[in-house]
Amino acid sequence: MRCLRCNRELEAGQKSVALYLFAQTVGIKPRQKSTAHRISFCPQCSVSLAMGPPPEGALNLAAWDMIRDLVGSDPALNQAAWENLSGILGLLPATGTDGGPRQGQSTGYFEF
Ligand SMILES: [Zn+2]
């Protein structure tokens, strides 16, 4: 599993937000049901999305609402995002003087 937004790998049991999506016919016989898709977001992206402006598209908006609901109702998800973030910061060198410029980290902002 990977985070849909940042493509970070999410190992089994790792903290994340999962969205399950399936389609089903209503009022049509025989009733049909698509396979269920699981979409995952890491805690940082979940919090970042929830704090950010509403996305475009009705389906995106529906998912954003659900994530906001989770982020807004309990601080546990924020805490998980904070733990991940401080874990990453802990891995960085104390000074910026060892080695050259870091590769692949030129942008300091999140892309939606
Ligand atoms: Zn992510």
Which pLDDT tens digit goes with each residue over 50-99? 999 999 999 999 999 999 999 999 999 999 999 988 876 666 666 655 55
Going from the Cα of 6 to the center of ligand 1, the distance in angstroms, rounded, reads 4
Gap between the Cα atoms of 74 and 36, Å rounded: 27
The tens digit of pLDDT for each residue in 19-42 reads: 999 999 999 999 999 999 999 999
* Cα gap 19→32, rounded to integer Å: 21
pLDDT recorded at residue 46? 97
Question: Can you read off the two tokens belonging to residue 106?
Answer: 């030129």
Span from the CA of 29 to the centroid of ligand 1 (angstroms): 40
Q: How far is the CA of 5 from the centre of ligand 1 (A)?
A: 5
Which alpha helices (H) appear in 1-112, and where do they start and end? 43-51, 58-73, 76-91
**Centroid of ligand 1 to alpha carbon of 45 (angstroms):** 4
- Nearest Cα to 54, choosing from 66, 42, 44? 66
Distance of CA 84 to the CA centre of its chain: 12
What is the CA(28)–ligand 1 centre distance, in A?
A: 38
pTM of the model: 0.73
